[in-house]
Amino acid sequence: MDKNDRNHVKYRAQGARNGIEILIVGAIGLVLIMGFNLLRPDKISIVEVFLVSACIGAIFIGFLKTQEPFYSLILSESKLIYQHKYGAWHLFQSNFSYSGIPKVEDGVEYIELNTVGIKVNDIDEFLASLSPRIAGKLLIEQRHLFMQAVQKHCKNGHCPSEWLIEDTQYTSQRGISYNGLIAMFANRTRHLRLLTGYDLLLPASVLDRDIWAFSANLNKWKQNPSQFIATQSK
C-alpha cells in the first residue's frame, strides 16, 4: 500500500470466512468417531461412514477456505485492489468510470448476472499491471458468467466464433499489441463490454454484501474517495 493510501477500507468475502473453525470441527469430529470405533468391536455402521465422510468434507472445505486471501478487496483513496489466491489486480480511481449490475436480454425481460460490473476508462492502463497468472485464473473462474451473457445473445445457436474461442492476439484501440493470456483476457473484456457494457467483473462470491450495495459503494468511492473511506471507517 502506498504511503498516501494509509486510509483504506477492507472487505472480506463471505465465502472465505470461518475456514479454520470448519477445519477444526471436522478434524475433531473425525478423531472422535475413529477413536469410538477403535474402542468397540462392532462393525462400522452406515451412519458412522456418513459421519466420517462429512468430517472429511468439512476438513477439505475448511482447508480451501484458509487458502483464500483474508481480504478480497481493498479500497484506498487512489485505487481498488482485488486480491486473489493466485495474485492481485488493481484499478486506479482515475481509471474507474462506474459500476453496476450487468444485465442480459432474455426475451422481453432482462436477467441480472450475480456479479458487479466495472467500466474502465483506459483498458491499456489496467492491462499494463495485470499478471498472466491471475489473468488465466480469472478467465477460467469467470467463464460461466461470460457464457450466461453469450447464451442470451445466441438463442438461435449461431454465435460469433470469437465469443467462444479465446484469441491469443489482441490489439487495443491505441495500437498496443498483446499476446498470450493477457491478450485472451483483453479479448474477454472487449466481448463483455459489447454484451453487458462492462469490462471487469467482481463475482458475488468475493464480496461481503449483496451486489447492489457493493456497486453503490464503488460509485460513492469514485465520486469522493477520501470522504467515502472516512465514513466507512467510523
Q: So what's the pLDDT on residue 167?
A: 85
Q: So what's the pLDDT on residue 199?
A: 96
Q: So what's the pLDDT on residue 110?
A: 79
Between CA 1 and CA 233 the distance in angstroms is: 17
Q: So what's the pLDDT on residue 209?
A: 86
Q: What is the pTM of this model?
A: 0.75
Q: So what's the pLDDT on residue 101?
A: 95
Q: So what's the pLDDT on residue 139?
A: 94
Nearest alpha-carbon partner for 230 in 12, 72, 77: 77
Q: So what's the pLDDT on residue 134?
A: 94
Q: So what's the pLDDT on residue 26?
A: 66
Between CA 31 and CA 197 the distance in angstroms is: 52
DSSP the chain: --GGG-SEEEE--GGGTTHHHHHHHHHHHHHHHHHHHHTS-SPPPHHHHHHHHHHHHHHHHHHHHHTS-S-SEEEESSEEEEEETTEEEEEEGGGEEEEE--EEEETTEEEEPSEEEEEES-HHHHHHT--HHHHHHHHHHTHHHHHHHHHHT-TTS---HHHHS--SEEE-TTS-EEEHHHHHHHHHHHHHHHHHS-SEEEEGGG-SS-HHHHHHHHHHHHH-HHHHHHHHH-
Q: So what's the pLDDT on residue 115?
A: 94
Q: So what's the pLDDT on residue 208?
A: 80
C-alpha cell at 102: 450487468
Q: Extract the residue ranges of the chain whose pLDDT is less than 50.
A: none
